[in-house]
Amino acid sequence: MDLTQLSCEDFLSRLAGKDPAPGGGGAAALVGAAGVALGNMVGNLTAGKKKYAAVEEDILVLNARAEALRKRLEALVQADADAFTPLAAAYGLPRETPEQQARKAAVLAEALDGACAVPLDVMDACCEGIRLAADYTEKGSVLALSDAGCAALFCKAALQASALNVAINTKLMTDRAHAAALDEKAARMLAEYLPLADEVYQSVASRLRA
């Protein structure tokens, strides 16, 4: 079943259930998609308004990027669930003989790598979402200023949540050098984009209270 085709109620019901997927990874992708969609809304409320004619072309470019990014994150909701299947299967492999142990270790290593790839992709997408939110905050309609701030915060939350989903898988890797490289990749994105999201929030909050 394609999780992205479920109603909000059905998705949340499945998320609350006993099945391990969808879980935090898919939820993070969905939150990121919601953040990007909010930014896109700001753009759509800005486009075509005489007051913002000077930034019309910029807004249209941002809108096109936002629409593509939202679809990318929507797809990652399902991709995260799909990545869990081989990981669960790997844990269930027998390990009674040396040959079985070697095969299980190899399959598990590949499955863990795949399980890291999706949240890293979500992180990358959320970084772009934060950049878009910053641009929408600067150029978008002031009537939707709070939505631009929410867009940044949603993407920030999804970014941090996805970093946790990377960490829980790298922790189990026997190839510690590879695990460290993946952890470092996640850490770099956090270090660069969490401050930007906070900057957007502070800018929006200050302008709303002015």
- What CATH number did the domain enclosing 88 receive? 1.20.120.680
- The fraction of the chain above a pLDDT of 90, given in percent, is 83
For the stretch 72-83, pLDDT in tens is 999 999 999 999
Domain presence at residue 131: yes
**Distance between CA atoms of residues 197 and 90, nearest Å:** 37
Domain assignment present for residue 5? The answer is no
Average pLDDT for 53-82: 97
Within-domain flag for 112 = yes
Whether 123 maps to a domain, the answer reads yes
Torsion of CA 94, 96, 97, 102, to 10 degrees: 50
Say if residues 120 and 81 touch (Cβ distance below 8 Å): no
Under the banding of pLDDT at 50, 70 and 90, the label for residue 96 is: confident
CA distance 97 to 103: 10
In a domain, 159, yes or no: yes
User: Residue 136, Cα to own-chain centre: how many angstroms?
Assistant: 19
pLDDT at 21: 84
Look at residue 85 in the predicted model and tell me its pLDDT. 85
Question: Which pTM does this prediction carry?
Answer: 0.94
Rg of the chain, C-alpha, whole Å: 20
Could you tell me if residue 156 is inside a domain?
Answer: yes
Whether 47 is covered by a domain: the verdict is: yes
116-132 pLDDT tens trace: 999 999 999 999 999 99
Domain range for 140 is 21-209
Is the predicted pLDDT of residue 1 greater than 80, yes or no?
no
Answer whether residue 176 shows pLDDT above 90.
yes
| Total of domains in the chain | 1
Residue 3 included in any domain: no
